[in-house]
Structure 1
Amino acid sequence: MQEAITIEVRTPRLREPEPRVVVTLPTFRRPEHLRRTLQSLAVQATDRPFAVVVMENEAEAREGLAAARSLIEAATPRGLVLVAHARGNCSAYNAGWATALAEFPAMEHLLVIDDDEVAPPDWIARLVAAAEATGADLVGGPQLPDFETPSGARYRRHPVFTPHYDTTGPVPILYSSGNVLIRRRVLEAMGPPFLDTAFNFVGGGDSDFYTRCRAKGFRFAWCAEAPVYETVPARRTEFSWINARSLRNGSLSAMIEARSNPGPTARLRRLAKSAALLAASAPRGIALGWRTGSPVAGLYHLQVALGRFLGEFGKINEQYRRPEQN
């Protein structure tokens, strides 16, 4: 099903020169930070022509559209702003990726950054270089936390804030869409809708997409030298948020596994895996808490195991349904 899209702003002579790289940037009720993200893209040091597609997902107030308008019209950076009328992060991604394919026929690489992130000047260059060096179809990079409150730094080594990999090179799979490069051929092969909108308000649409990409034989890599810096508000350093995110990670893990391997036999295997993770959570948690110096981090493996059981019964926290609490 094609997402409802309206292109509202476009840089004059947008395809002169023809963009080879397109950065997609979903936004929802973060107009001030969106401007910071766009300003970091405007100063990218790359010899590859690129454009930005901003996906406004607040179809009523459209604060993101208003914040981006003057920058895009002035080509700082050049690109376009669309309104993705269907609410939800997967719907926003689908709108932006489909638009990038249709608007930029010379596009070779599609990149993704979120509206609470800032990219260093060599971000595009490093992701593209990693794709070319490894031959990978999808390349991820770290999302490093930038805590708004000094007290938040105590969670820097908590698993919900740490990258999945440490070293540049091929990896089995990726997990997040907040800092990623995707080759055009991947999008063309997967076809719209790219992300399943069943994940619109729970997250995990990116992980599900990567799982399906792996099943089609696409290859993954990691570029440790291409971080983005994610602003972490005080709300996300409260125990209630970290607990909800940790449980959700477990629930999504079970949900994605169930979609890949349905049936009663596969479910018994998942339940056995969840039980094994629960049994191992105490020693693993003690080790993690000792290594990070954080008792809260030490709870993570237990929370993930419990979340997997919740996911088996369809109980997944829709953290994105209530953005004021996310």
Structure 2
Amino acid sequence: MQESPSQPVRGQYLISIATYMRPDGLKRLLDSLTSGDEIADVVVVDNDPDGSARTIAEQHLAVTFYAIQPDAGIAQARNRGLEYFTAEYDGIIFVDDDEWVEPDWFIALVSYLESSDSDVIQGPVITCLPQDCPTWIRRGGFFQRERVASGTPLLSAATNNTVLAREAWVRAGEPRFDPSFSETGGSDWDFFWGLRRSGARIVYCNEAVVSEDVPASRLSAKWLVRRSMRSGIVHSRVRLKYRDNPYRALVRGMPRAGYYALLFVRGLVFDRIIAAKPFTVVSFEIGKILGLLGYRTYEYRRTNNGAPVA
């Protein structure tokens, strides 16, 4: 395992932000990007055809480019950001519009990329629960992603706190995010899985921290089950797409699911607690089965008024 160094950044970087009807979150993120010492170009891709983010983006000092992607879909918005990823940049950083970054985030993330032999660096996301969060969610440790040591290899990555080296992207054929994942979610997992399969090395950097809030609509068992199952579905879909032993992964996951199911029951009976990891693992493994059967959850499908379902 490596420890993340802190040293001057040598390359030029582009920060890509896909946004959809989150003006307050977008402004907070952009404000946080100006709190550090390093400067990167920023492209804001507005997935609202009416351009609801235009005023914030065009008036903010952090923003270099603003673009509207009228075609609905998170993959389409991410792909529009890739159009700005030209040869003048050494890497592209993806961060979500409901997050904010720490002052030393940029240096930690990028200097680790430059000093290691890796092609993709994923950093941690710290979830901030609201004051009125249900007690069982807080006690169980839900929404808190597992953090591992810097240098830990990863199978894939998400676009919530990640830098991708241009050289690796070009070497892989300049891939794009798959629009078939736009309404279901998982286009980022598919994208980075494909990059790893092409030879890119993906590792974790524990020091490059971003934070996020949890909206009230997600504070329910129904949402948590659906999200974990969706992750399992995406996992199977991606393995099927790349012919990457999806059925072997399912068989290997069955004992794991059984073990965590027992832990889940034990927690309920003896500790009177719904623990996040057993809950999530069992739901994830069920999702893997559903994914192989062709089942889909449409987490990002928009309603008639344009708002996302979730």
User: 1:293 Cα deviation (Å)?
Assistant: 7.5
Q: CA separation of 1:302/1:109 partners in 2, compared to 1, >3 Å: closer, same or farther?
A: same
Task: Name the counterpart of 1:84.
Answer: 69
Q: CA separation of 1:256/1:50 partners in 2, compared to 1, >3 Å: closer, same or farther?
A: same
Task: Name the counterpart of 1:56.
Answer: 46
Structure-to-structure mapping, 1:203-242, within 5 angstroms: 203-242=185-224
Separation (CA, whole Å) in 1 of partners of 2:35 and 2:66: 19
Q: CA separation of 1:204/1:324 partners in 2, compared to 1, >3 Å: closer, same or farther?
A: closer
SS in 2 for 1:253: helix
Conservation of the 8 A alpha-carbon contact between 1:157 and 1:292: no
Conservation of the 8 A alpha-carbon contact between 1:177 and 1:206: yes
Structure 2's unaligned 5+ residue stretches are 1-10
Task: Name the counterpart of 2:34.
Answer: 42
Q: CA separation of 1:157/1:118 partners in 2, compared to 1, >3 Å: closer, same or farther?
A: farther
Structure 1's unaligned 5+ residue stretches are 1-18
SS in 2 for 1:99: coil
What is the aligned-residue identity percentage? 25
Task: Name the counterpart of 1:321.
Answer: 301
Conservation of the 8 A alpha-carbon contact between 1:195 and 1:209: yes
Q: CA separation of 1:67/1:302 partners in 2, compared to 1, >3 Å: closer, same or farther?
A: same
Separation (CA, whole Å) in 2 of partners of 1:121 and 1:169: 22
Partner deviation per Cα, 1:144-185 (whole Å, 9 max, x = no partner): 112234425753586762334321114133331100010111
Tell whether 2:146 aligns with 1:168. no
Conservation of the 8 A alpha-carbon contact between 1:53 and 1:100: no
SS in 1 for 2:296: coil
Task: Name the counterpart of 1:310.
Answer: 290
Task: Name the counterpart of 1:96.
Answer: 81
SS in 2 for 1:299: helix
Q: CA separation of 1:40/1:222 partners in 2, compared to 1, >3 Å: closer, same or farther?
A: same
Tell whether 2:59 aligns with 1:70. yes
The two structures have a TM-score, normalised by structure 2, of: 0.86
Conservation of the 8 A alpha-carbon contact between 1:152 and 1:234: no
| Aligned residue pair count | 296
User: 1:284 Cα deviation (Å)?
Assistant: 4.4
Q: CA separation of 1:118/1:88 partners in 2, compared to 1, >3 Å: closer, same or farther?
A: same
Conservation of the 8 A alpha-carbon contact between 2:169 and 2:175: no
Separation (CA, whole Å) in 2 of partners of 1:117 and 1:306: 29
Partner deviation per Cα, 1:264-290 (whole Å, 9 max, x = no partner): xx5653553454444334134357779
Among 172, 177, 184, the residue aligned to 2:159: 177
Task: Name the counterpart of 2:8.
Answer: none
SS in 2 for 1:269: helix
Task: Name the counterpart of 1:27.
Answer: 19
Conservation of the 8 A alpha-carbon contact between 1:175 and 1:207: yes
Q: CA separation of 1:132/1:307 partners in 2, compared to 1, >3 Å: closer, same or farther?
A: same
**Counterpart AA for 1:313:** L
Conservation of the 8 A alpha-carbon contact between 2:261 and 2:282: yes
- Across the aligned residues of Structure 1 and Structure 2, the Cα RMSD in angstroms comes to 2.7
Q: CA separation of 1:258/1:277 partners in 2, compared to 1, >3 Å: closer, same or farther?
A: farther
Q: CA separation of 1:268/1:169 partners in 2, compared to 1, >3 Å: closer, same or farther?
A: closer
**Counterpart AA for 2:35:** V
Structure-to-structure mapping, 1:127-206, within 5 angstroms: 127-151=109-133, 155=137, 161-206=143-188
Separation (CA, whole Å) in 2 of partners of 1:208 and 1:292: 37
Q: CA separation of 1:93/1:312 partners in 2, compared to 1, >3 Å: closer, same or farther?
A: same
**Counterpart AA for 2:66:** V
Q: CA separation of 1:299/1:178 partners in 2, compared to 1, >3 Å: closer, same or farther?
A: same
Higher share in helix: 1
